[in-house]
Amino acid sequence: MSSATGYRQQPPPPPPHIALLPSAGMGHLTPLLRLAAMLASCNCTVTLITAQPPVSAAEATHITAFLAANPTINRLDFQILPYIPSNTATADPFFIQFEAIIRSGHLLTPLLSTTSPPISAIFADIASAAGVFQVADDLGIPIYIVSTTCARFSSLVAYIQHLIAPGSSITMAETSIHVPGLVPFDISTLPPPFFIPNHIFTNGLVSNSRILTKSKGILVNTFHAFEPEAIGAVNGGKVMPNFPPFLPIGPLKPHNLELGDHQPLPWLDKQPPQSVVYVNFGSRTALSRDQITELRNGLEESGKIFLWVLKSTTVDKQDTEELEELLGNSFIQRTKHKGMVVKGWVNQEQILSHPAIGSFVSHCGWNSVMEAAARGIPVLAWPQHGDQKVNAGVVETAGLGIWTKGWGWLGEKTVKGEEIAEKIRMVMSDEKLREKARKIGEEAKTAIEIGGSSNKVLMEIINNLQYKQ
Ligand code: UDP
Ligand code: UDP
Ligand code: UDP
């Protein structure tokens, strides 16, 4: 088209081509898939790098279903080198995979250098970020980190390079950890591996921490109104001067894959509004047998209707025990009309969207927290490991839920059924909490609408990649 002055206008540059690298586990894959779909819907060319072989069956089925539902997204299989840690005592299969991806990072350069159109940027999951920095450097493209935890824990990850030297740990002598600009972290809320020298989780975190500084920005699945303190502290330069910005783009939009072995929706349809306690500890947390028994008793004693998704192993492929073996047949018979217990994968996004759900007993994996926040569902926080106590603190501070700090970490103690019943009744009957949660849901929706705080941040990233490379 010619302008009035006769000059031919330049056509706009093509939308950017973004390669996304998820690490391991559904808690990491889910936000990266959601982000991939959001970028594709903004006309970006998107390539999903899939580390092969994945750890869990859920990851494999979700990647296949996601790509079938999003045919414009390219798949790039990345065969990773096997890695066997020297200390197998702390060998969580998901942490091993984080490290294996980091160690295989160099294999990505030849794979990514031949794509057409050329890659404009790599968006790398925080847990394997250290693996792709060199690749981005070799290809001369920027790297953005995708944080799969809250802004508060992400600030700690950013600062941890100043707290823990490679191969060391935090000493138990301290009572709290200070990150400039943030309310101190009580040490009882920090992941237990932080206190074990040379732990694979902590080592990974320290090496990823160093990479954050070299990125263009850190995309966080949160929104400004939910975590103003941590976002403000990092972006105001208080945590570290000249640190890349936190880019709050959440809650990431659901991708609603029709997956799940069990669909409790017809059962939920028959329950009154806001009457059901939904219990799910995420994709990879298995409670002890004793704790399963106490939770079973607590749910029954609460007198509330419940939907419980039960896992008994960390990796889903090994989860073969039947419900009757875990809970006893008489409980299942007694609670036939009061509750539903399922083993296997459910579609949590759909469940949380159902009007029958009244509260969510959650381990506070960050995706679960954002999914509850997006829908204004009150949370009974029961963190189990990793970043989850820090996440639970954010839930409490924001007013989305309640957290009983004395319940401890997974395996630390067995919380009694009576206490669980009491807290369930409390969260179900607290009208102030319900109202506050509802408001948070409204704020979340506003953040992701066109022109909302999170939407603007994402649009600006895409715009920068399109016009300012
Ligand atoms: N999820 C689900 N169905 C299940 C278990 C988990 O849809 O039966 C989803 C959940 O909605 C969330 C993700 O898997 O998006 C789990 O991530 P989160 O960070 O909550 O916890 P993690 O599994 O990493 O501990
Ligand atoms: N993390 C990391 N490197 C690691 C392990 C963990 O950067 O090697 C970070 C990452 O931010 C992750 C958080 O620590 O979201 C908590 O990790 P965990 O594996 O416990 O989370 P989950 O997989 O259960 O969501
Ligand atoms: N939402 C979101 N992230 C989530 C869950 C929901 O951004 O993890 C948004 C979603 O895009 C929608 C609103 O919150 O705008 C309500 O979500 P829901 O899945 O309940 O949508 P509905 O089925 O009510 O249309």
pLDDT tens string 128-187: 899 999 999 999 999 999 999 999 999 999 999 898 887 788 877 788 999 999 999 999
- Comparing 257 with 23, the larger pLDDT belongs to 23
Mean pLDDT score, 95-116: 92
Please provide residue 125's backbone torsions phi and psi, each rounded to the nearest 5 degrees.
-55, 135
For ligand 3, say whether the CB of 181 is within 6 Å of any of its atoms: no
Residue nearest to atom 5 of ligand 2 (CA): 201
Closest atom of ligand 1 to CA, residue 348: 7
Mean pLDDT score, 297-306: 98
pLDDT-wise least confident of 191-205, 300-314, 426-440: 191-205
pLDDT at residue 322 above 70? yes
Q: Which two tokens stand for residue 41?
A: 């819907």
Query: What residues form DSSP beta bridges with 248?
Result: 220
Residues 7-13: contacts with CB within 8 Å, 24+ apart? 12/466, 13/466, 13/467
User: By C-alpha distance, which of 237, 211, 226 is closest to 137?
Assistant: 211
For ligand 2, say whether the CB of 148 is within 6 Å of any of its atoms: yes
Tokens 């890659």 locate to: 119
Query: What residues form DSSP beta bridges with 122?
Result: 19, 143
pLDDT band at 2 (very low <50, low <70, confident <90, very high): very low
Q: Identify the burial level of 368 via C-beta atoms within 10 angstroms of its C-beta, where 0-12 means exposed, 13-18 middle and 19 or more buried.
A: buried
CA distances from 374 to 223, 226, 368 (A): 10, 11, 10
Residue ranges around ligand 1 (CB below 6 Å): 25-27, 30, 280, 282-285, 309, 345-349, 365-368, 371
| pLDDT at 31 (0 to 100) | 97
Q: Of 125, 255, 363, 385, which residue is the catalytic one?
A: 125
| pLDDT at 6 (0 to 100) | 61
Q: Which two tokens stand for residue 226?
A: 């939910």
Q: Which of 59, 199, 205 to mutate to test the pocket of ligand 2 (most atoms within 8 A of CB)?
A: 205
For ligand 2, say whether the CB of 149 is within 6 Å of any of its atoms: yes
Q: Identify the burial level of 81 via C-beta atoms within 10 angstroms of its C-beta, where 0-12 means exposed, 13-18 middle and 19 or more buried.
A: exposed
**Catalytic status, residue 186:** no
User: By C-alpha distance, which of 365, 390, 389 is closest to 156?
Assistant: 390
Q: pLDDT digit string (tens) for 201-231?
A: 888 888 888 889 999 999 999 999 999 999 9
Mean pLDDT score, 23-38: 95
Please provide residue 427's backbone torsions phi and psi, each rounded to the nearest 5 degrees.
-70, -30
User: By C-alpha distance, which of 275, 270, 301, 269 is closest to 429?
Assistant: 275
Q: Which of 23, 26, 33 to mutate to test the pocket of ligand 1 (most atoms within 8 A of CB)?
A: 26
Average pLDDT along the chain: 92
Inter-axis angle of helices 366-375 and 388-398, nearest 10: 20
DSSP for 56-68 reads: SHHHHHHHHHHHH
Q: pLDDT digit string (tens) for 260-280?
A: 666 788 999 999 999 999 999
**Catalytic status, residue 28:** yes
For ligand 3, say whether the CB of 22 is within 6 Å of any of its atoms: no
Q: pLDDT digit string (tens) for 394-445?
A: 999 999 999 999 999 998 999 999 999 999 999 999 999 999 999 999 999 9
Query: What residues form DSSP beta bridges with 18?
Result: 46, 121
Q: Which two tokens stand for residue 361?
A: 């007993």
Contact 15, 45 (CB under 8 A): yes
Q: pLDDT digit string (tens) for 353-381?
A: 999 999 999 999 999 999 999 999 999 99
DSSP for 186-226 reads: EGGGS-GGGGSTT-HHHHHHHHHHHHHTTSSEEEES--TTT
Can you give the pTM of this predicted structure? 0.90
ipTM: 0.84
